[in-house]
Chain A
Amino acid sequence: MTTAQPSEKLALPEGVEPIINDFSITVGTVNGSGSQTSNTTLMRAIFKMGVPVEGKNLFPSNIQGLPTWFTIRVSKDGYLARREEHEIVVAMNPASFARDVADVLPGGVLFYDDSIRLAIGRDDITVYPMPVKKLAKASGAPSSLRNYVANMVYVGVLAQMLGIDLDKIRFALDFHFKGKEKPIALNMGVVEAAAQWAAENLEKKDPYMVAPMDKTEGYIMTDGNVAAALGSIYGGVQFVGWYPITPASSLAETLNEYLPKLRKDKDGKHTFAVVQAEDELAAIGMAIGAGWAGLRSMTSTSGPGVSLMTEFIGLAYAAEVPVVIWNVARVGPSTGLPTRTGQGDLTMLFFLGHGDTNNAILIPANPTEAFEFGWKAFDIAERLQAPVFVLSDLDLGMNQWMTKPFQYPDQPMDRGKILWEDDLETFAEKFKMEWGRYVDVDGDGIPYRTVPGNRHPRSAYFTRGTGHDDYARYSEDPENWEHLQNRIKQKFQVARELMPLPVVYETEGGAEIGLIGFGTTEDAILEARDQLMAAGIPTDFMRVRSLPCSHHLDDFVKNHKRVYVVELNRDGQLHQILTMHLPGQAEKMVSVAHIDGLPMTARWVREQIMAQEAK
C-alpha cells in the first residue's frame, strides 16, 4: 500500500503540516446551474487518483433557483459516510453565502465567487476569492452556457490549490461527455485557465492536499439505481411497469437505456417490455398481471407510489403472485422531503396488505449489493410466489458510490415451482395426487403453479382474492380460509432461510455491545464503531439485509448484553419489528433513531451510543 505523498508542485508555507486526503469539501451553488457536472468531475478526478471518495448531493425539490449543496468526503482511511463538518467550502451562491461561510471549520478554507460582495467576518480560516465571472467570460463560451461553465472555474481553482491532477479531470470530463470533443474542450479550457489563474494569483496558505494513492483500484463509481436496473436485467427481467417519481425514476430510465442493447432476439425483437403507466395503480397492476402470467416482472417507485400500489400488492400476496417492487425511499408523504433520504418505509413495507401480512424485503447497502439483489429478487419472488420488496433509498439510488464491480450471478435462475404441459402429465404419478393450484404437496407451504399459455386442458385455474380451496374453487368455508392463511404464513418461514443473510462485523475477542442496522447507514455505523473502539467501547455490528428476520439475527441479539438498533427514521421501525419478533429480548434492545432528511453521520451514531453507555 502506498501512503499519500504531498505533491511537489504544492509548496506549503514554512511550518504548516500538510493534511493529506482527509477532509470534506462542500460546494454551495444554485440548483439547476449545472454544478452537478463540476462536482462529480471533482469527485471522479480524486477517485482516479486512487483516493477513497464519496459524494452526497443535498438538493432541494426544485428544478432551478433554490440553494443546493454537494459534499465530497475525501478519506485516506476509506470512511465514506457523510460528515457534518466541512474543512473546505466553495461558496458560489449569494443566497446561502452567510451560512456557507459560517459552516467552514476553524482552520478551514473558503473559496468564493468574488462577485459576491458580502461580509465574510472570519479570521480563523483561509479565504481564496475566485474571479468566476471574468474567467467564464474569457472562456469564449456562448452567453447561454456561461453560468454553466462558471462552475468549472472552481474545479480548476481547487485542482490547483489542492493538487488534483488535471489529467484526471480531463478523464472525468471525457467520461461525463461520453467522449464528445466540443463540450470536453470547452469545459477543460475553463478548468485549465482557472488553474493557471490560481497558480499565478493565489498563494497556498492552508494545509489541505490531495495526493495519489492506490486505494480505489478494483472499485467502480456508480449509483444504486443504475446498479438495480442492471441487476434486474441480469436477473432476466421481462416486464417493467412504472410511473415517474423522485428518487426512483432513474432506475426505470436505466432499464430503458440498457434493455434494448442487451435483450433483442436474433430478429431484433424485444424479449421484454417496459411500460410507463398512467399511475402507480396501473404500474403495479401490469406488473402483477405479468408476474401471474410467468414473466419476470417488476416495478420501481418510492413511498407515495407504494401507498397507491397497496391494494394490488395485498392481492398479489393473497393470490400468491410473484412480483418485485423496488422502493427507492424518500422522506415523508408526497410533499414531505422528496429529494431527501431516510429509512421511514420499513414498517409500511413489512406489514403492507390487508389482513395478516409479513412481506419479504431485501435491503441493499451499496450499488454492488443493489445489483446482486436486483437479480436475486426475481428468484426469491418466483420461489415464494409472492411480492418481494427491495428497499433502497435516495442516498443509495441517486448518489455516486465507490463500490465493487458488479458480480455476475453465481447461481442459475430459480424459476420456482412452475409446471408446463409435460410436467402436468407426470405430476399425478410423481405426487400420487391430482395437481391443484394451491395444493401443498411438498409441505413447505409453496404449491405448484401453471401460467396462461400452458395449453394442457387441465392447466387452467381461476385466480381471485376471494376465499378459495386448494383447487382454486370459490369458497367462503371458514376452514378453507384458515388453512390458506396458515399455509401462506408457512411460506415466510421458508423465506427466512432463502433471503440474504445478515453481514456481521465482529470485534476480536467479542463485545458485549451489539449494533444492528440496515441499508445505507452501514458506512456511518462502521466508522462510528472505530471511533467507539478508540474511546474504549468495543462493539459488534450486524447489518440486516432482509426481512423476515433470519435465525442469525435472533442469535446475535441473544449473544449480546446490550443491542442498539440504529436507523434513519423517527420511531425506530426495525427496533419495533425486532421487539415484536423477539419479545423475550425486548428489554435489551435500545432504539437509536432519528430522521432529518440527510444521510447518517458517524458522529451522530457515536454520540448516541456514548450517551446511552454513560447512563
Chain B
Amino acid sequence: MATRTNRAGLTKQQYRGAPSTLCQGCGHNSIASQIIAAAYELDIVPENIVKFSGIGCSSKSPTYFLSRSFGFNGLHGRMPSLATGALLADVSLKGMGVSGDGDTASIGMGQFKYVVRRNLDMVYIVENNGVYGLTKGQFSATAEKGLTLKKQGTNPYMPVDICMEAVIGGASFVARSFAGDPKQVKELLKAAIQHKGLAIIDIISPCVSFNNREGSYHSYSWGKAHETPIHDISFVPSREEIILKEAFEPGEIKDVTLHDGSHILLKKLDRDYDPTSRVDAIQILDENYRNNLLLTGLIYINPGQPTLADIHNLPDYALNRLTEKDLRPSPETLEAINAQMF
C-alpha cells in the first residue's frame, strides 16, 4: 500500500520530531501531536516554519515535532525577542513559538506583552499547566488562588489570565483551548497558522506529575467538566470551497475571512458571540473568570492588523539572502558623508 501524502507530497511521518522525553500523559505531548496534524493537513512545507521556545517542559517540545523546520530553544521567558529578530530575516517564514505559563506569564510577561504589541507573524502557544513543570512543581502565575500543592502550600495570589492580557495588549488573534480536546486544538492551530500576525493560543495542558489533582483548574478532570466552548470551530483553507457542513445552521454561523482568503467558520453555541469585538472579548473573559468556567474557542480576531514586517516597511523577499552589493552603500555615498562632516 502506498503511503499517504498531502498536497506538499509529504507523509505525516515527515512532520514528526524526535521521540518525546516528557512524562507519559503530559498535555504538552498531545499538543505536539496536533501541531503535526495541523501542519500536515495544511500541506505546509516544514522548511517554511521556524520553531522557537523558551525554557520549561513545554519549551522542550519543539524537538518533538517538525524536525525539518529550523528551531531555537532559547532562554527562559525570552522566546519572543529571539523570534522577533529571526523572523524579520525572511518574511515568508512563519513562526511557531511554544512557551509555558511560567515562561510567558512570570519571567516572560514583558516580552509576551511586547510581541503582542508588535504583531509578529507567529503562532504563540502557551502550554498552560498552572505550575512550573521542569523545576518540579512550584506555583506559576496562572495557578488559581487557593490551589494547594505538595511542598508549595497554598497559592495566595490571583491568577494571570493570559487571554485577557493578550486582548488588552492589542493582540490580533486570541484563542483558548484544552489539550484534552484535540479536535479543537487542531482547528485553532490551523486558523492560527493561517492568520497573518501574532496568534496567541492559551492551551490548558495538565501536568500529570505536579498539578493534575481532582478539582485543580488545570487538571484533566476539571477541564473536561468545566470547558465551555464559545464556538464549534472549523477551519477551511482557502483552496477549498466553503461548503457549510450540516451542523452549521444558517444564521448560526460566523464566517471570519483570513488574510489569504481562507475562512474560519464558527458555530455559535450558547450565545451570539462576535470574535471581532474587543469589548465583547474582554467581557466574556471576565464573566467566565468570575464564574469559574474554562472558556475555549476563538476569543478575538482582527485579520487586518499590520504585522511587524509591515510596520518596518520590509520587502517581501528574504533579507538574509542579500549580498554585499545590496548591503554596502557605494563609495560615492561615503564621500558625500565625509564631505558633510565638519
Contact = CB atoms under 8 A, between A and B. Distances in A.
Q: Which of B68, B74, B92 has the most CB of A within 10 A?
A: B74
A262 to B, nearest CB: 4
A281 B76 CA distance: 11
A290 B74 contact: no
Contacts of A295: 85, 88-89, 319-320
B111 A285 contact: yes
Given A296-B327, A463-B72, A267 B315 contact: yes
Contact of B324 (A172, A239, A412, A450): A412
B84 interface: yes
B110 A455 contact: no
B201 interface: no
B135 interface: no
A175 B342 CA distance: 7
Interface in A440-486: 450-457, 459-466, 473-474
Contacts of B313: 268-270
B81 A289 contact: yes
B85 A453 contact: no
Contacts of A292: 72, 82, 85-86
A413 B327 contact: yes
B250 interface: no
B71 A285 contact: no
B70 A220 contact: no
A544 interface: no
Contacts of B87: 289, 293
A294 B337 contact: no
Given A284-B81, A453-B318, 6 more contacts: A271-B326, A286-B84, A406-B334, A408-B331, A460-B71, A463-B71
Contacts of A270: 312-315
Interface in B71-102: 71-75, 78, 80-90, 92-93
Contacts of A278: 110-111, 114
Nearest to A461: B70
Contacts of B67: 460, 462
Interface of A: 44, 47, 172, 175, 220-222, 230, 233-236, 238-239, 241, 258, 262-263, 265, 267-273, 275, 277-279, 281-297, 311-312, 315, 319, 400, 405-406, 408-409, 412-413, 420, 450-457, 459-466, 473-474
Contacts of A296: 327
Nearest to B14: A457
Given A270-B314, A292-B72, A462-B73, A44 B342 contact: yes
Interface stretch (B43-51, B178-186, B267-275): B43-51
Nearest to A226: B341
Contacts of A241: 81, 84-85
Contacts of A283: 81
Contacts of B338: 220, 405-406
Contacts of A460: 46-47, 67-71
B244 to A, nearest CB: 37
A465 to B, nearest CB: 7
Interface string B231-263: 000000000000000000000000000000000
Given A295-B320, A312-B78, A220 B341 contact: yes
A420 B89 CA distance: 14
B130 interface: no
A291 B50 CA distance: 15
Interface in B292-318: 312-315, 318
B63 interface: yes
Contacts of A462: 51, 62-63, 67, 70-73
B290 interface: no
Given A277-B81, A288-B85, A406-B334, A293 B320 contact: yes
B13 to A, nearest CB: 13
B333 interface: yes
Nearest to B338: A405
Nearest to A262: B329
Q: Which of A454, A459, A473 has the most CB of B within 10 A?
A: A454
Contacts of A315: 74-75
19 contacts: A235-B328, A236-B322, A236-B327, A270-B315, A272-B319, A273-B88, A288-B82, A289-B84, A294-B320, A319-B72, A406-B338, A413-B323, A452-B86, A457-B47, A459-B70, A462-B62, A463-B73, A465-B74, A466-B73
B136 interface: no
Q: Which of A284, A297, A315, A464 has the most CB of B within 10 A?
A: A464
Contact of B314 (A273, A286, A412, A453): A273
Given A220-B342, A405-B341, A454-B47, A285 B70 contact: no
Given A220-B341, A293-B90, A460-B70, A286 B81 contact: yes
B150 interface: no
B151 interface: no
Contacts of A291: 85
Nearest to A178: B340
A286 B85 contact: yes
A122 B177 CA distance: 82
Nearest to A464: B73
Given A289-B81, A453-B320, A294 B329 contact: no
B73 A451 contact: no
B4 interface: no
Given A293-B89, A295-B89, A285 B84 contact: yes
A285 B46 contact: no
Contacts of A412: 324
Contacts of B51: 462
A222 B342 CA distance: 7
A311 B75 contact: yes
Contacts of A294: 89, 320
Contacts of B73: 462-466
